[in-house]
């Protein structure tokens, strides 16, 4: 898996003028994230920032890739084209079982958890005047259900199924990226958008700041059925006042964002990444509002359905977290 991360012989030759040995020792890792207006992308950036801070000591250099999201990240890690990924907790479970978005795939037995991060409540954004007051009202409407391969799309499928709706029941089942949905809402091209992300996130902020958008309270959309049938999710709250025009708390549900890797990712590389975050935990929490309430104790156990990677487990035991 890591062959693509090392300098090739040709690259080493180019670097031979005085720095060849140093270059050959460096390991390059990439974290797959999501759309640039969500929370996954800055999450990957925050992790890489801390890894790269001490790169001269451990010779690991970290970069971030904007991707289609959780399902894409999981598949691409499995294919050896990404090293780490930000993945919804429920997508971990589905990948290991070969279920839902991975139906037809072999169960991914080599998927490994590294740590969990922030909760990801479902944001159902509705344009004013569309007559949508519950998920059932989406029949015949134009709704963005997320791009294929994203964790949002997986959650949209769960939400619709719990409310006995299929994409065919919608007037338009749009498959826009998160970076496209705010403009589509405010331009009147879609009536609603289903979107899973941490708090706050750029896409929802853009939409609610630009036009009259209401966040749908999901307590009237078979919330208990969703939670009973999907143990990877938990009830969540979107605080009133977080987004313009939405002054009341909104009841929602969702998974947790997690960092995952493959079992073949070298232990020492995973250890470096975990150590960078946990040794600089106060700095990490300041890098995005979604990280403010995180605790180390929750991050090493909550939302981690895949087995812990040995490199992560080593750090947690040394730090007294296990």
Q: What is the pLDDT along the chain (322 residues), one digit of tens a residue?
A: 554 444 334 444 444 444 444 455 799 999 999 989 889 999 999 999 999 999 999 999 999 999 999 999 999 999 999 999 999 999 999 999 999 889 999 999 999 999 999 888 999 999 999 999 999 999 999 999 998 878 889 899 999 999 999 999 999 999 998 899 999 999 999 999 999 988 889 999 999 999 999 999 999 899 999 988 887 888 888 999 999 999 999 999 999 999 999 999 999 999 999 999 999 999 999 999 889 889 999 999 888 989 999 999 999 999 999 9
Work out how many domains the chain is built from and give that number.
Answer: 2
Please tell me whether residues 164 and 248 are part of one structural domain: yes
* Structural contact between residues 25 and 252, judged by C-beta atoms closer than 8 angstroms: no
Please tell me whether residues 235 and 139 are part of one structural domain: yes
| pLDDT given at position 2 | 53
Q: Torsions phi, psi of 175, nearest 5?
A: -125, 50
* Structural contact between residues 147 and 181, judged by C-beta atoms closer than 8 angstroms: no
Please tell me whether residues 233 and 134 are part of one structural domain: yes
Residue with tokens 């998974």: 255
| Final residue in a domain of this structure, among 228, 254, 280 | 254
Please tell me whether residues 211 and 277 are part of one structural domain: no
| pLDDT given at position 12 | 42
Please tell me whether residues 41 and 188 are part of one structural domain: no
| Final residue in a domain of this structure, among 225, 254, 283 | 254
| pLDDT given at position 8 | 38
* Structural contact between residues 75 and 81, judged by C-beta atoms closer than 8 angstroms: no
* pLDDT 10s digits, 55-98: 999 999 999 999 999 999 999 999 999 999 999 999 999 999 99
- Measured between alpha carbons, how far is residue 291 from residues 108, 205, 243 in Å? 29, 17, 18
Domain with 82 in it: 2-119+256-318
| Listed residue (158, 143, 140, 139) closest to 91, CA to CA | 158
Please tell me whether residues 144 and 226 are part of one structural domain: yes
Please tell me whether residues 63 and 41 are part of one structural domain: yes
| Final residue in a domain of this structure, among 254, 278, 301 | 254
| pLDDT given at position 70 | 93
Burial status of residue 310 (CB atoms within 10 A of its CB: 0-12, 13-18, 19 or more): middle
Q: Does the predicted TM-score (pTM) go above 0.85?
A: no
| pLDDT given at position 195 | 94
Please tell me whether residues 241 and 145 are part of one structural domain: yes
Please tell me whether residues 93 and 186 are part of one structural domain: no
| pLDDT given at position 24 | 55
The token duo for 97 is 């079982």
Interatomic CA distance for residues 35 and 147, integer angstroms: 10
Please tell me whether residues 267 and 249 are part of one structural domain: no
Interatomic CA distance for residues 239 and 280, integer angstroms: 28
CA–CA–CA angle 186, 192, 196 (5° rounding): 105
| pLDDT given at position 149 | 76
Please tell me whether residues 30 and 48 are part of one structural domain: yes
H helices present in 141-193, as ranges: 151-162, 178-186
| pLDDT given at position 20 | 45
Please tell me whether residues 47 and 100 are part of one structural domain: yes
* pLDDT 10s digits, 107-123: 999 999 999 998 889 99
List of residues 6+ apart from 14 with CB closer than 8 A: none
Q: Torsions phi, psi of 132, nearest 5?
A: -95, 115
CATH number at residue 95: 3.40.190.10
């Amino acid at each position: 898996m890591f062959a693509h991360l090392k300098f090739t012989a040709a690259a080493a030759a180019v670097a031979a003028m005085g720095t060849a040995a140093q270059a050959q020792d460096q390991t390059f890792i990439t974290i797959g994230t999501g759309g640039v207006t969500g929370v996954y992308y800055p999450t990957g950036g925050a992790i890489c920032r801390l890894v790269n801070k001490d790169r001269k000591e451990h010779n690991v250099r970290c970069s971030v890739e904007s991707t289609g999201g959780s399902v894409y990240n999981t598949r691409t890690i499995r294919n050896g084209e990404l090293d780490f990924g930000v993945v919804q907790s429920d997508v971990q479970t589905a990948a290991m079982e070969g279920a839902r978005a991975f139906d037809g795939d072999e169960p991914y037995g080599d998927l490994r958890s590294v740590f969990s991060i922030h909760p990801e409540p479902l944001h159902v954004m509705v344009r004013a005047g569309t007559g949508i007051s519950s998920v059932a009202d989406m029949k015949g409407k134009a709704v963005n259900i997320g791009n294929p391969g994203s964790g949002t799309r997986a959650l949209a499928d769960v939400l619709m199924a719990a409310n006995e709706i299929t994409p065919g029941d919608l007037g338009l089942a749009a498959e826009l990226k998160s970076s496209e949905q705010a403009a589509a809402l405010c331009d009147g091209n879609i009536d609603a958008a289903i979107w899973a992300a941490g708090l706050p996130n750029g896409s929802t902020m853009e939409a609610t700041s630009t036009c009259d958008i209401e966040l749908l309270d999901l307590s009237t959309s078979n919330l208990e059925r969703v939670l009973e049938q999907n143990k990877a999710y938990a009830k969540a709250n979107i605080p009133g006042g977080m987004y313009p025009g939405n002054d009341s708390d909104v009841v929602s549900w969702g998974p947790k964002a997690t960092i995952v890797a493959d079992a073949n990712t070298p232990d020492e590389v995973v250890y470096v990444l975990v150590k960078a975050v946990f040794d600089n935990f106060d700095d990490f929490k300041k890098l995005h509002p979604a990280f403010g309430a995180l605790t180390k104790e929750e991050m090493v156990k909550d939302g981690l359905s895949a087995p812990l990677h040995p490199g992560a487990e080593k750090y947690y035991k040394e730090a007294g977290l296990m």
